[in-house]
Amino acid sequence: MAGLERVNRQLFPLRDISAVAELFRDEIEKSPDPDLSLLSIVVGAVENSLTCNRSPVLREVQGEGEDAAGGDFEIEFHIVDALYSKFRSTILGSVDLSCYGDSKFATRELVKKVSDVIWNSLSRSYYKDRAHLQSIYSYLTGNKLDCFGVALAVVAGCQVLGFNDVHLALSEDHAWVVFGENGAETSEVTWHGKGNEDKRGQPIGTGVGSLSWLYVNGQPVVCDRYMEVASLVSSVNPSFNMTTDIKEVADIQQQLMWLLYDQGHLEKYPMALGNLGDLEEINPTPGRPSCQELFSQAVDASRKYYSNKHVYPYTYQGGYFFRHKMYKEALESWANAADVLREYNYSRDDEELYKELMEIANELIPHIMKAVGSGIDAHSILKDPECFAHLLRLYDGICQWEEGSVTPVLHIGWAKPLVNTIAKFDASVRAQLVIDLQDEQEEEASSMKEERVSVKSGSEESSSGERKSEEQTNDRGDSLNNNNYSKTPDADST
């Protein structure tokens, strides 16, 4: 029975959050196969009516996290019915299933055909990065979708055709599908980035391209139906404009996210946990886990399910600590993010992540240096060797990201803030930098040595009672004399 016959028509017209939540709850709790097009149409209609059809006289509120009054919405059943039927007839009318064999599993050709149907019905030219283009409501009423929306629509289209083996696969900046027995096949179904030829119909490469962050090293979030519902809820966008969110939309998104959280459908979805953390930071729900706990759960999910190959959980967490002036914790989260990067080669497809790291290194950290320089320094960051170690680990991770990549990462724009930042740390802290040289195998000894960096924390220093003995320093000094790390830099030597 298709979604609409199942839906409780008493809920319509949908006029408030509880009605929308009830409809989602029915679909998630009572159906073995929640109807993606129905849910995307409903939540897209609500988002559209509250963010796009706004009276221009609406009070524009400035300032952090201020929400505009969203006013009311009223989603009529016959509108949802008409759109739902339009999507189904578009898909069923464009795909002649007899051309695709009689397997109960989708084929690459079938997936490509559904992607073509969506692709060829999009408006010729529109601003692809605009907000509110992620839902099937947007596709049906405006023939516009963003790159995530195309992927979701393809999965929803395959659901209409009865191919429940086709599922959404998500990296931190791209989406594709898995299909076939045990979801063993993959296919591109949408575009990525600007000015890149789309690779629709092709399997996800296992070659050098798959070493980039864009494909998270073979550790994407592979969704089941419920996680696909989580992705469409997570992609709800409460923005009215650059400075204003519509509170009702954020409230609906937050409630739906908790509904999915309680059913365990965010467990393996770090970015959805991060998004819920952002919503909770702005508007905490009494009795629920704190946003800090949610950011920590996102980190745990990446470590537990994706071999710690996702970067964003640490940047969600670092951003939170930064906003709350917990600068030492922020530096640690960002250093942990950089540790993830080490495994990747930087590619031109990784621009979104590059921008994130640029902001952290060249805006947020200099902001911290200014803040603590002017005395707001709860942890006395500049005297804390562990903070210095986090900073070096962050930069070293970025350097290792660059190593082996065809595209360079760092340039003078990075070096200036770095030098200023290092110079802000106390000379006594910098002097505690200890480089442990560990010889690799004999044959590599001359060319490459693995260097382990540690910064002795004050406590260790005090426990040993004195700095490394002279001969120890001399021993290391000799092997490192071509490396200025070993010298004890005095205050103005850097």
Closest approach, Cβ 378 to ligand 59X, in A, equals: 24
Does residue 233 bind ligand 59X (CB under 6 A)?
Answer: no
Which stretch in 170-178, 181-189, 279-287, 437-445 sits in contact with ligand 59X by CB under 6 A?
170-178
CB atoms within 10 A of CB 71: 13
Whether the link from the prior residue into 32 is cis, omega within 30° of 0, is no
Contact (Cβ atoms closer than 8 angstroms) between residue 232 and residue 39: yes
- Total residues binding ligand 59X (CB under 6 A): 15
CB atoms within 10 A of CB 375: 6
CA distance 455 to 485: 11
Coil, strand, or helix at residue 10?
Answer: helix
**Whole-angstrom Cα Rg for the chain:** 26
Q: Hey, what are 247's tokens?
A: 């509170």
Nearer to ligand 59X, 84 or 334 (CB): 334
Which stretch in 51-59, 260-268, 311-319, 477-485 sits in contact with ligand 59X by CB under 6 A?
311-319
Question: What is the per-residue DSSP string for 369-404?
Answer: HHHHHTT--TT-GGG-HHHHHHHHHHHHHHHHHHTT
Nearer to ligand 59X, 269 or 388 (CB): 269
Closest approach, Cβ 357 to ligand 59X, in A, equals: 10
CA distance 38 to 148: 17
Does residue 24 bind ligand 59X (CB under 6 A)?
Answer: no
Does residue 316 bind ligand 59X (CB under 6 A)?
Answer: yes
Q: Which of 154, 170, 364, 392 binds ligand 59X (CB under 6 A)?
A: 170
Cα distance from N-terminal residue to C-terminal residue, the chain: 71
Does residue 275 bind ligand 59X (CB under 6 A)?
Answer: yes
Which stretch in 40-48, 241-249, 267-275, 432-440 sits in contact with ligand 59X by CB under 6 A?
267-275
Does residue 311 bind ligand 59X (CB under 6 A)?
Answer: no
The answer to whether the Cα torsion of 249, 251, 257, 263 is positive or negative is: negative
Residue ranges in 334-393 that form contacts with ligand 59X under rule CB under 6 A: 356
Which stretch in 168-176, 252-260, 416-424, 472-480 sits in contact with ligand 59X by CB under 6 A?
168-176
Which stretch in 172-180, 285-293, 368-376, 401-409 sits in contact with ligand 59X by CB under 6 A?
172-180
Which amino acid is present at 358? M
Nearer to ligand 59X, 174 or 424 (CB): 174
Give 434's strand partners. 454
Helices of type H across 34-146: 36-51, 77-94, 108-120, 136-142
Coil, strand, or helix at residue 453?
Answer: strand
Which stretch in 38-46, 48-56, 69-77, 271-279 sits in contact with ligand 59X by CB under 6 A?
271-279
Which stretch in 300-308, 314-322, 324-332, 438-446 sits in contact with ligand 59X by CB under 6 A?
314-322
Residues 6 or more apart whose Cβ sits within 8 Å of residue 374: none
Q: Hey, what are 302's tokens?
A: 């990446």
Residue ranges in 173-192 that form contacts with ligand 59X under rule CB under 6 A: 173-175
Which stretch in 155-163, 313-321, 392-400, 449-457 sits in contact with ligand 59X by CB under 6 A?
313-321
Q: Which of 39, 227, 252, 272 binds ligand 59X (CB under 6 A)?
A: 272
CA distance 316 to 273: 10
Nearer to ligand 59X, 217 or 234 (CB): 234
Question: What is the per-residue DSSP string for 118-172?
Answer: HHHTS-SS--TT-TT-SSHHHHHHHS---HHHHHHHHHHHHHHTT-TT-EEEE-S
Q: Which of 84, 119, 137, 148 binds ligand 59X (CB under 6 A)?
A: 148
Does residue 312 bind ligand 59X (CB under 6 A)?
Answer: yes
Closest approach, Cβ 311 to ligand 59X, in A, equals: 9
Q: Which of 115, 254, 297, 315 binds ligand 59X (CB under 6 A)?
A: 315
CA distance 91 to 300: 39
Nearer to ligand 59X, 100 or 354 (CB): 354
Closest approach, Cβ 236 to ligand 59X, in A, equals: 10
Does residue 321 bind ligand 59X (CB under 6 A)?
Answer: no
Closest approach, Cβ 282 to ligand 59X, in A, equals: 13
Q: Which of 150, 156, 271, 429 binds ligand 59X (CB under 6 A)?
A: 271
Q: Which of 40, 49, 212, 231 binds ligand 59X (CB under 6 A)?
A: 231
Nearer to ligand 59X, 245 or 356 (CB): 356
Where on the phi/psi map is residue 420: left (φ > 0), alpha (ψ -120 to 50), or beta?
alpha
Contact (Cβ atoms closer than 8 angstroms) between residue 476 and residue 483: no
Q: How many CA atoms lie within 13 Å of 251's alpha carbon, on the beta-carbon side?
A: 14
What is the binding site for ligand 59X (CB under 6 A)? Answer: 148, 170, 173-175, 231, 234, 271-272, 275, 312, 315-316, 319, 356
